[in-house]
Amino acid sequence: MDLKRKIITSLADLRQDYAGTVPVDIIKKWVDSKKNDQSQEDVLRPYEKTGYLVSTDSAGLSRLTAERPLLEVMKIVSEPKEIIFEMGKKIGGRGVGIWAADNSEMFYDHKDVDAVTLLNTMASAQKVIHQGLLQVGMGIHKATFWGIGLNMFGKEAELLEAVAEDFTAGKEIIISESVKKELSEDWLEKLTYREDLKEFERAFYTLNYNDLGSAFESFILPDFSKLEKNQLYPLPFNRQFFLMLKQMGVNRDVELALQNLYQNKIVILVKVYHREEKLLLDQLTDWVVVNAIIHEVADKYNVELIKSNGDLGIFVADGDSEAIEFAEDLFDTLNRGNDQVAIGICRGDVLIFDLDDGGKDIAGGAVNVASKISEDIPDKNALYIEKSVKLPINHHHKYTEFSMEKSNVLIEGVCLCDL
């Protein structure tokens, strides 16, 4: 029996932390069903959410990262998120997922918010964000999604995330046809059709910055020290660190305390490229199974799990040999399960956070480099080791050298090619 089949047959005993972000009971119901369209509809009905999803991605982060220290960049990245969350919360929005890196996502139920109010609010957010150092692009789409755990799932959610991540520019808002249909005439004349987004089989339109209105002329951020953790955006660190970050540039003692939090670690970032599934629950089942496999392999090594959901995993280690041995074992195990997997390894100073509600997250240049070489290199089934990590003298695998330039940063190292 292969490893994937073994895990599926023992779902009843699978710990939730091994399953990742998808509740195990959903997968159990699916595996025990007829596994057709009707079965999926029955299982997912309690999680169905119709409304507007707003995804954002920053512009100009690579330049800031090259020019400024990590902690300063983290503060700058946090500021647009604070504005988006506070404004969105005022009209009934709720945060989706953990807002790691430079992304944010909020959901607005169609029974609570209309398209005009939402667009007015997001336009106002862009006006306020424009006063800061980091600009963001926004995507807005109305559809039916599935709210499972902390996240929104489904092809419509994936579509919007792709648009926001890869096609928005700073200061602009892209909306889908389903949002456009609900707008007033004065908004419609400000939209420009996006010819370049025809590949998504949806019509999308851009609202440029110069055409943005503003409904919150005197918007002022609250005093975050007086807010409870559940009143803050979905932080990728704990509340204490967030409040310290807000003191950057104001309190020198706080800055020194933050500097002492750095740790020198080897980062192992795992990106799994799952086969395409027709049904969402087949996709989520594969996430759960792959996540369990990742945990089983990691348990054999002296590596620290930061986070893993079956699609993306991040680990840290102290020793070069230990990190490489773990990565090779994980790569081989996942490939035997017919998944493509790209792994990037890099050493550097990082910040590791314990989250308020459990779990961990991480930030640092080594994470960014490991992410770039596991997600942006064309070969999606390989193990890449950046030059900061040294191969053991007795290493027995063949390798080729690689180099790539991403966001004006040159990354070099070796790719193991006979795994």
Answer whether residue 18 is part of any domain: no
| Residues 250 and 270 reside in one and the same domain | no
Question: In whole angstroms, what is the distance from residue 239 CA to residue 237 CA?
Answer: 7
DSSP state of 225: G
Answer whether residue 6 is part of any domain: no
Alpha helices in 91-222 (DSSP H): 115-129, 155-167, 177-180, 185-188
Answer whether residue 8 is part of any domain: no
Encode the chain (419 residues) as per-residue pLDDT tens digits.
466 777 777 776 777 877 788 888 999 999 999 999 999 999 999 999 999 999 999 987 777 877 888 999 999 999 999 999 999 999 999 999 999 888 999 999 999 999 999 999 999 999 999 989 999 999 999 999 999 988 999 999 999 999 999 999 999 999 999 999 999 888 898 999 999 999 888 899 998 777 776 666 678 899 999 999 889 999 999 999 999 999 988 888 998 999 899 999 999 999 999 888 889 999 999 999 999 999 999 999 999 999 999 999 999 999 999 999 999 999 999 988 777 899 999 999 999 998 988 889 999 989 989 998 888 887 888 999 999 999 876 666 778 888 888 767 788 999 886 55
Q: How many CB atoms lie within 10 A of CB 44?
A: 21
Question: In whole angstroms, what is the distance from residue 255 CA to residue 245 CA?
Answer: 8
| Residues 335 and 219 reside in one and the same domain | no
Of 224, 257, 290, the residue that ends a domain is 257
Answer whether residue 15 is part of any domain: no
| Residues 319 and 251 reside in one and the same domain | no
Q: Name residue 386's beta-bridge partners.
A: 413
C-alpha angle 130-134-139 in degrees, rounded to nearest 5? 75
| Residues 190 and 127 reside in one and the same domain | yes
| Residues 299 and 252 reside in one and the same domain | no
Question: In whole angstroms, what is the distance from residue 237 CA to residue 244 CA?
Answer: 11
Domain hosting 371: range is 263-416
On the 0-12 / 13-18 / 19+ scale of CB atoms within 10 A, 331 is buried
Answer whether residue 137 is part of any domain: yes
| Residues 252 and 269 reside in one and the same domain | no
Answer whether residue 20 is part of any domain: no
Answer whether residue 26 is part of any domain: no
Q: Say which residues have a Cβ less than 8 Å from residue 359's Cβ, sequence separation at least 6.
A: 307
| Residues 394 and 350 reside in one and the same domain | yes
Of 234, 257, 280, the residue that ends a domain is 257
Q: How many CB atoms lie within 10 A of CB 17?
A: 13
| Residues 292 and 374 reside in one and the same domain | yes
Which of helix, strand or coil describes residue 243?
Answer: helix
Task: Count how many domains the chain has.
Answer: 2
Q: In angstroms, how far is CA 408 from the centroid of its own chain?
A: 22
Identify the pLDDT of residue 1: 44
Of 257, 274, 300, the residue that ends a domain is 257
| Residues 234 and 364 reside in one and the same domain | no
| Residues 199 and 298 reside in one and the same domain | no
In the block, residue with structure tokens 């667009």:
119
| Residues 165 and 285 reside in one and the same domain | no
Answer whether residue 34 is part of any domain: no
Identify the pLDDT of residue 387: 94
φ and ψ at residue 400, rounded to 5 degrees? -125, 150
Identity of residue 43: V
The CATH number of residue 52's host domain is 3.30.70.1230
| Residues 141 and 216 reside in one and the same domain | yes
